[in-house]
């Protein structure tokens, strides 16, 4: 009985701690990083010892928590259904890595930043219409159950990336296509894709930015704080992109405010895939 109680408590405790772990490249066992497995064992043993040393306090606290959740369930607040959903997220996170990338400093706008910003005509009627159609093409039911802007942003990602065709710029210089120009084409180079993706997500209320490396530009979507990242990871792996990302590692950058950003590059089949191994030279918030 004590082991079962410790197991139930250890999962959400680890879910809270995992995003705070430093970036470590460690082997995996059964699909789970050894750093997470070690932390889970330590937390489980600590809770077991506490249950044995202070049984009245431990079980008393557990009874109070169950009572509060039961009371809130009857009042339409956070209930057992929400609790089971959170445990589902915790179990999913136990097996799969959500990896923090090296922190990106706040860099000055990069070359071409203003041209890219001007190309994002997200209030253009054609861009807005395309964004709304794309946001509602996939995951309609899921958008009603979860954060609708996040889910609709993932629908936009799927629409654009499933159709995008790479076409190079003119040989004699860089060309930044407006989002309205790329809507009927769904083709262009990396900066054209980034402009269209960012414009469409911005048109439906999402928070995006462009990241420029030494040889590439890609869009990143803000998914919120550590809890938001866990929810996004659960949705990507288990609800929206299970065929592409069920057992995939997900990667994110963290900004100075603690918000997580995942890449929506045209080279990836699911949000949050690996980023290109190139030095970041600038970030453009749009």
Question: Digits of tens for pLDDT over the chain (286 positions)?
Answer: 667 777 767 776 776 676 566 545 555 555 556 677 788 888 888 888 887 887 777 677 678 777 877 877 777 776 667 666 666 655 555 555 565 665 665 566 677 899 999 999 999 999 999 999 999 999 999 999 999 999 999 999 999 999 999 999 999 888 999 999 999 999 999 999 999 999 999 999 999 999 999 889 999 999 999 889 988 998 998 899 988 987 788 899 998 888 999 999 999 999 999 888 788 888 998 8
Query: Cβ(262)–Cβ(251) under 8 Å?
Result: yes
Residue 49 has a pLDDT of: 87
Q: Compute φ and ψ for 275, nearest 5 degrees.
A: -95, 160
Distances (CA, A) of 203 to 98, 144, 206, 266: 28, 19, 7, 19
The domain ranges of the chain are 2-95, 113-285
**Domain boundaries 113-285, corresponding CATH code:** 3.10.620
- The pair of three-digit structure tokens given for residue 180, joined into one six-digit string: 């309205």
Residue 107 has a pLDDT of: 62
Q: Which residues contact 212 (CB under 8 A, 6 or more apart)?
A: 110, 280, 281, 282, 283, 284
Name the DSSP letter for residue 110.
P
Distances (CA, A) of 65 to 59, 79, 195: 10, 11, 48
Residue 262 has a pLDDT of: 96
Where residue 103 falls (left for φ over 0; alpha for ψ -120 to 50; beta otherwise) is beta
Query: Cβ(196)–Cβ(241) under 8 Å?
Result: no
Residues β-bridged to residue 114: none
Query: Cβ(179)–Cβ(196) under 8 Å?
Result: yes
Angle at CA 38, nearest 5°, toward 12 and 14? 10
CA 215 to CA 213: how far, in whole Å?
Answer: 5
Helices 148-163, 125-135: inter-axial angle, 10-degree rounding? 100
Distances (CA, A) of 86 to 66, 80, 197, 285: 15, 10, 30, 32
Residue 18 has a pLDDT of: 64
Judged on CB neighbours under 10 Å (0-12, 13-18, 19+), 101 is: middle
CA 274 to CA 183: how far, in whole Å?
Answer: 26
């Amino acid at each position: 009985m004590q082991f079962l109680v410790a197991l139930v408590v250890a999962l959400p405790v680890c879910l809270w701690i995992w995003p705070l772990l430093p970036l470590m490249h460690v082997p995996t066992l059964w699909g789970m990083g050894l750093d997470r497995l070690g932390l889970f064992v330590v937390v489980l043993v600590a809770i077991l010892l506490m249950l044995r040393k202070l049984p009245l306090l431990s079980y008393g606290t557990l009874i109070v928590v169950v009572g509060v959740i039961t009371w809130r369930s009857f009042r339409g607040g956070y209930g057992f259904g929400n609790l089971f959903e959170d445990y589902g997220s915790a179990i999913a996170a136990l097996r799969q890595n959500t990896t923090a990338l090296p922190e990106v400093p706040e860099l000055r706008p990069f070359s071409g930043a203003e041209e890219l910003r001007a190309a994002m005509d997200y209030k253009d009627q054609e861009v807005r219409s395309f964004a709304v159609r794309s946001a509602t093409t996939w995951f309609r039911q899921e958008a009603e159950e979860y954060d609708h802007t996040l889910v609709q942003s993932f629908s936009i990602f799927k629409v654009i990336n499933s159709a995008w065709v790479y076409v190079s710029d003119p040989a004699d210089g860089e060309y930044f296509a407006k989002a309205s120009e790329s809507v009927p084409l769904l083709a262009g180079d990396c900066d054209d894709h980034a402009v269209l993706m960012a414009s469409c997500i911005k048109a439906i209320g999402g928070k995006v930015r462009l990241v420029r490396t030494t040889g590439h530009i890609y869009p990143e979507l803000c998914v919120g704080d550590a809890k938001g990242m866990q929810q996004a990871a659960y949705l990507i792996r288990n609800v929206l992109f299970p065929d592409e990302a069920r057992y995939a590692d997900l990667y994110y950058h963290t900004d100075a405010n603690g918000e997580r950003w995942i890449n929506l590059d045209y080279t990836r089949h699911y949000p949050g895939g690996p980023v290109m191994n190139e030095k970041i030279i600038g970030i453009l918030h749009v």
